[in-house]
Amino acid sequence: MKEVKIESTLYLFENTDALPAEVASLMQKAVEARDKAYAPYSNFNVGAAILLDNGVIITGSNQENASYPSGLCAERTAIYYAGSQYPEAKIIRMAISATSKRKPTSTPIPPCGACRQAISEYEIKQDKPIEIYFMGETGKVAKSNSLANLLPFIFDKSFL
Ligand code: THU
């Protein structure tokens, strides 16, 4: 038996003031999108903002449903819209912000596994890393230089 170790690197910014201006403004768009979430069941609002290489910014928020699994996360709402409206554009970065009506969210809140899988599809398709920035409502912002860092042992088209 051989042990296999996987390393992943994240960068932490103290708060949004520490972000480069362009990223802070993308995060602000995620916050505005977050406020448009439809999350009456979880009371957990998430917003995502995507910058494309054509300069367009796409935003999305989580959209819940009385039939719970029919709802969709903010990140996938945004990325599927980006993919369907601008199939030729490459995604430069995604900013994500999450807040809860039940408790303060002051630590970085990462995208769920299903969203990581969805984002990875686009990263592989465009053959260029997608930067991911994520945070709660306040506090530190985490940055991953690529989606691959957030999803070890990725399932991709090479297995099909
Ligand atoms: N949610 C997102 O929008 N993105 C994630 O990455 C994690 C979870 C949403 C789904 C659901 O509407 C609520 O947050 C609670 O799970």
Is residue 2 included in any domain, yes or no? Answer: no
Is residue 158 included in any domain, yes or no? Answer: no
Q: Whose CA is nearest to atom 13 of ligand 1?
A: 44
Is residue 81 included in any domain, yes or no? Answer: yes
Distance of CA 135 from the midpoint of ligand 1 (Å) = 13
Q: Which range marks the domain in which residue 71 is found? A: 10-152
What separation in angstroms does the CA of 107 have from each of 53, 97, 103, 128? 29, 10, 12, 28
| Contact in structure between 74 and 55 (CB atoms under 8 Å) | no
Is residue 1 included in any domain, yes or no? Answer: no
What is the residue type of 89?
A
As a whole number of angstroms, the distance between CA 110 and CA 69 comes to: 20
Q: Bridge partners of 132?
A: 94, 144
Q: Which of 7, 28, 23 is nearest to 133 (CA)?
A: 23
- pTM for this prediction: 0.97
In ligand 1, the atom with minimum distance to the C-alpha of 62 is 3
Domain of 40, CATH number, reads 3.40.140.10
Mutational pocket test of ligand 1: of 34, 43, 44, the residue with most ligand atoms within 8 Å of the beta carbon: 44
Active site members:
75
pLDDT over 90 percentage in the chain: 100
Is residue 4 included in any domain, yes or no? Answer: no
Tens digits of per-residue pLDDT, 79-131?
999 999 999 999 999 999 999 999 999 999 999 999 999 999 999 999 999 99
